[in-house]
Amino acid sequence: MALHRISLGVAGLAALLILAACARTPAPKPVHFFAEGMPERLSDWSVVYVAEGRLRLNARVLPYDLDSALFTDYAHKLRTVWMPEGASARYQADEALDFPVGTIISKTFYYPRGEGDTVLRSDDAGAEADGGLTLGKVRLVETRLLVRRESGWIALPYVWNAEQSEARLMRTGDLVPLTLADKDGRRQQIEYMV
């Protein structure tokens, strides 16, 4: 009888472990460089991906920051760069870095969330140590990709949906209405221009 209970206990534990393993978020697809065309979805590139309530950076996608960033309607920016395996940017003393073909530079514009649909005018960017963003704390607006192809650089703007699950290519631009609140609670209606 005791042996039967142990067998059932082991079988139950094995089933629980199998279920737990199945519930894990699958590994993201590797970053995909498109030598031509303009993919409709940001997720096709796999530079960033949404999992477990966070916007995450894929493997070998490195976050970076600028010493002198441009002002963009109080939006914060998550900047990243990815280069093909074994490639590196070449330093040029009198010019910009020379990035190899296949480089993908991204800039995600977002706001810290306030109450309801309000976004905050805040110095706290909300980015985490690994470069990711907790989606419950931020409102994603747009991700711009700069892609280095054989013919040169191409810029692709992707606008995030309300659920923050996907961003779609928006070649013609868009206006995103936002309610911006400052630290004193004063609200202002703005239109973020894509």
pLDDT tens, the chain, 194 aa long: 554 455 544 444 444 444 444 455 567 899 999 999 999 999 999 999 999 999 999 999 999 988 877 888 889 999 999 999 999 999 988 888 899 999 999 999 999 998 888 898 887 766 666 778 999 999 999 999 999 999 999 999 999 999 999 999 998 777 888 988 988 889 999 888 88
Each residue of 63-101: pLDDT tens digit?
Answer: 998 887 788 888 999 999 999 999 999 998 888 889 999
pLDDT of residue 38: 95
Half-sphere exposure of 120 (CA within 13 A, CB side): 15
Return the closest-CA partner of residue 149 out of 45, 35, 25, 55. Answer: 35
pLDDT of residue 78: 95
CA distance readout (Å), 52 to 15, 100, 115: 23, 33, 22
Does an H or E element contain 101, and which?
none
> How do the domains of the chain map onto residue ranges?
30-193
Residue 115 CA to residue 48 CA, distance in Å, equals 26
pLDDT of residue 116: 84
pLDDT of residue 129: 61
pLDDT of residue 21: 45
